[in-house]
């Protein structure tokens, strides 16, 4: 498994970003990263995150794309720096990487960032909602993998790299390739698609999945209700 994960990370690193896309495991953001070592830090954290979960992977939660407040700086889908660094109100850092060392990669000296971002790193609302629900049930967080159909960060060129945008159809096609590889590493995992883009892509790949609404744009209650409808308190699927 460890070898498979390492090769998977290497494939992610090989992706050369198109215009208005940032690859967290390859690209260095001269403005917002701590330094040229940032992509390697993010790669290491992603590798650790996946390796921890390879003993008995149970659930794969697949959303849309990496966000600037989340995986852009952590290298891990649907997680934020504030979670990793122990500054999050609800999510303990040990739920992500156990007791392994973690590091922020956003530049705390950048005056463009808000004071809270400089002090504590970024926090992502969607990641918070999702991990709060994961931890609500009797599921080990080390059995849950979070992922995105497009595993890179698409941003709005008019707003800059601290922005998000919906991935294009071409980008989703590219991302499906990496999702398929991850699924092949743990083929017995139960897949939950978060949002219609994820659901559509997984269906096209022929990967059975259980759709839930994306919690963004005021849909957090619908997301929570749908997750509750899929999982019981023992972390077992209620229906097939």
Residue 240 belongs to some domain of the structure: no
The better pLDDT of the pair 63, 2 is held by 63
Structural domains of the chain, count: 1
The string of DSSP letters for 85-136 reads: TT--SS--THHHHTT------B-TT-TTS-HHHHHH----HHHHHHHHHHHH
| pLDDT per residue as tens digits for the range 86-139 | 999 999 999 999 999 999 999 999 999 999 999 999 999 999 999 999 998 878
Residue 16 belongs to some domain of the structure: yes
pLDDT value at 45 more than 80: yes
| pLDDT per residue as tens digits for the range 48-81 | 999 999 999 999 999 999 999 999 999 999 999 9
Percent of the chain with pLDDT over 90: 89
The mean per-residue pLDDT over the stretch 153-179 comes to 97
What is the value of pTM for the model shown? 0.94
Secondary element (H or E) of residue 211: strand 209-212
For 172-178, the CB contacts below 8 A with 24+ separation are 172/197, 172/201, 174/15, 174/150, 175/65, 175/148, 175/149, 175/150, 175/151, 175/201, 176/149, 176/201, 176/204, 176/205, 178/8, 178/11, 178/12, 178/151
Secondary element (H or E) of residue 59: strand 59-65
In the chain, the largest separation of any two C-alpha atoms, in whole Å, equals 50
Range of the domain at 130: 2-230
Residue 235 belongs to some domain of the structure: no
Q: How far apart are CA 144 and CA 36, in angstroms?
A: 30
| pLDDT per residue as tens digits for the range 3-18 | 899 999 999 999 999 8
pLDDT value at 235 more than 70: no
Query: What is the Cα gyration radius of the chain?
Result: 17
| pLDDT per residue as tens digits for the range 146-157 | 999 999 999 999
Label residue 229 by pLDDT band (50, 70, 90). Answer: confident
Phi, psi for 56 (deg, rounded to 5):
-150, 70
pLDDT at site 232: 59
The CATH number of whichever domain residue 156 belongs to comes to: 3.40.470.10
Residue 91 belongs to some domain of the structure: yes
């Amino acid at each position: 498994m460890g070898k498979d994960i390492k090769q998977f990370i290497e494939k992610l690193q090989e992706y050369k970003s198109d215009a208005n896309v940032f690859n967290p495991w390859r690209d260095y953001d001269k403005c917002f990263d701590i330094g040229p070592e940032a992509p390697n830090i993010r790669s290491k954290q992603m590798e650790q995150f996946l390796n921890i979960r390879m003993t008995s992977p149970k659930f794969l939660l697949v959303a849309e794309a990496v966000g600037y407040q989340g995986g852009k700086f952590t290298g891990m889908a649907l997680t934020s720096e504030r979670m990793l660094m122990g500054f999050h109100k609800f999510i303990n850092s040990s739920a992500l990487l156990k007791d392994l060392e973690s590091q922020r990669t956003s530049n705390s000296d950048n005056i463009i960032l808000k004071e809270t971002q400089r002090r504590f790193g970024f926090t992502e609302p969607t990641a918070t909602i999702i991990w709060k629900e994961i931890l609500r049930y009797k599921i080990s967080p080390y059995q849950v993998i979070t992922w995105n159909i497009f595993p890179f960060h698409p941003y709005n060129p008019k707003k800059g790299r601290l922005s998000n945008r919906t991935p294009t159809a071409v980008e989703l096609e590219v991302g499906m390739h990496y999702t398929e590889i991850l699924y092949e590493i743990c083929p017995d995992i139960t897949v939950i698609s978060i949002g219609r883009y994820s659901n559509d892509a997984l269906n096209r790949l022929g990967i059975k999945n259980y759709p839930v609404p994306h919690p963004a744009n005021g849909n957090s209650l619908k997301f929570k209700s749908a997750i509750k409808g899929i999982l019981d308190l023992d972390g077992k699927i209620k229906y097939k």
